[in-house]
């Protein structure tokens, strides 16, 4: 399963405008509030998300219903760009827990970036169970958004282009990625980003899968494209190094082989799923 997907919860959008019903759900004896350490998840002894009773005070987000159990998250303040200890925990968390926390984290981060109205500058306040903010000045309603990002493998004669940024852990390499710009299709963004970062032209862009990414709130769209050449001209303001990896090298890295030529992206990142998809294509 792709990371941050598979949350087993009914989002119950039809209840978000019903303030009386939301208050009843929060007061329900079975209602649960997600525990957070800043913006990081708190887990129990089994590595599952930790929950507590819903406090009567404080702002909260209605996450939805897990069967008959109402789930909430506290609307805390924090730097959405800080990852804290989350990466260390995500590798062992169940997929549905990581997905539920990821959605909450993205939404909390969005609230933190929209404290004031973009139209008139007045303060905004949460409404719709935390799935919107309303301006106290002009009355404008603001709703959560995600930023579209393409993440892609350029393929050439049985190898794929991998690169690393300076802030990556030692030996880690990943796929190229970049934001989709206004007026651009996914395919055009893939071609532009590969051209800008690696200096090569591509064709035959194929979509593979998508992933919500809560750092702070992107929708990652994974693709594979056919490179017309293997000669690289890397943008060294973005990338530290890049190379063409064979299927054998990628398979070894995904398996965590001690003699692998690079360290693969973590399993919860869609880059990991994209590399696995590419390796397994040959076996189909």
pLDDT at 236: 96
pTM of the model: 0.93
pLDDT at 78: 77
Structure confidence at residue 1 (pLDDT): 86
Vertex 134, ends 133 and 136: CA angle to 5°? 135
Alpha helices in 152-208 (DSSP H): 186-198
Q: How far is CA 279 from CA 127, 247, 250, in A?
A: 46, 6, 7
Dihedral (C-alpha) 167, 170, 172, 177: value to the nearest 10 degrees? 10
- 210, 146 Cβ separation under 8 angstroms: no
- Class at the top of the CATH hierarchy for domain 147-281: alpha beta
Per-residue pLDDT of the chain (284 residues; tens, 9 = 90+): 899 999 999 999 999 999 999 999 999 999 999 999 999 999 999 999 999 999 888 899 999 999 999 999 999 987 766 667 888 899 889 999 999 999 999 999 999 999 999 999 999 999 999 999 999 999 999 999 999 999 999 999 999 999 999 999 999 999 999 999 999 999 999 999 999 999 999 999 999 999 999 999 999 999 999 999 999 999 999 999 999 999 999 999 999 999 999 999 999 999 999 999 999 986 55
Domain positions in the chain? 13-112, 147-281
What is the Cα–Cα distance from 156 to 201, expressed in whole angstroms?
Answer: 11
d(CA 24, CA 15): 11
Tell me the backbone φ, ψ of residue 192, rounded to 5 degrees: -65, -45
Q: What is the pLDDT of residue 57?
A: 86
């Amino acid at each position: 399963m792709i990371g941050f997907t598979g949350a087993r919860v009914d989002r119950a959008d039809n209840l978000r405008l019903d303030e009386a019903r939301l208050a009843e759900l929060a007061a329900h004896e079975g209602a649960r509030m997600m525990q957070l350490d800043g913006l990081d998840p708190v887990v129990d002894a089994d590595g599952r998300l930790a929950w507590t009773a819903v406090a009567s005070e404080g702002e909260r987000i209605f996450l939805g219903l897990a069967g008959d159990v109402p789930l909430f998250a506290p609307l805390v303040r924090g730097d959405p760009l800080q990852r804290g200890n989350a990466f260390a925990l995500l590798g062992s968390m169940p997929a549905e827990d990581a997905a539920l926390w990821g959605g909450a984290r993205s939404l909390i981060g969005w609230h933190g970036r929209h404290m004031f109205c973009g139209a008139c500058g007045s303060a905004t306040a949460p409404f719709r169970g935390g799935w919107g903010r309303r301006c106290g000045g002009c009355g404008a309603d603001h709703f959560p958004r995600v930023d579209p990002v393409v993440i892609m493998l350029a393929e050439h004669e049985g190898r794929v282009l991998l690169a690393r940024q300076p802030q990556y852990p030692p030996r880690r390499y990943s796929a190229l990625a970049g934001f989709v710009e206004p007026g651009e299709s996914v395919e055009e963004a893939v071609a532009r980003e590969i051209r800008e970062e690696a200096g090569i032209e591509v064709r035959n862009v194929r979509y593979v899968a998508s992933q919500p990414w809560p750092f702070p709130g992107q929708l990652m769209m994974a693709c594979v494209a056919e490179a017309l050449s293997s000669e690289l001209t890397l943008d060294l303001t973005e990338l530290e190094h890049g190379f063409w990896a064979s299927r054998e090298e990628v398979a070894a890295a995904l398996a965590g082989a001690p003699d692998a030529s690079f360290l693969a992206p973590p399993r919860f990142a869609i880059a990991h799923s994209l590399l696995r998809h590419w390796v397994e294509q040959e076996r189909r």
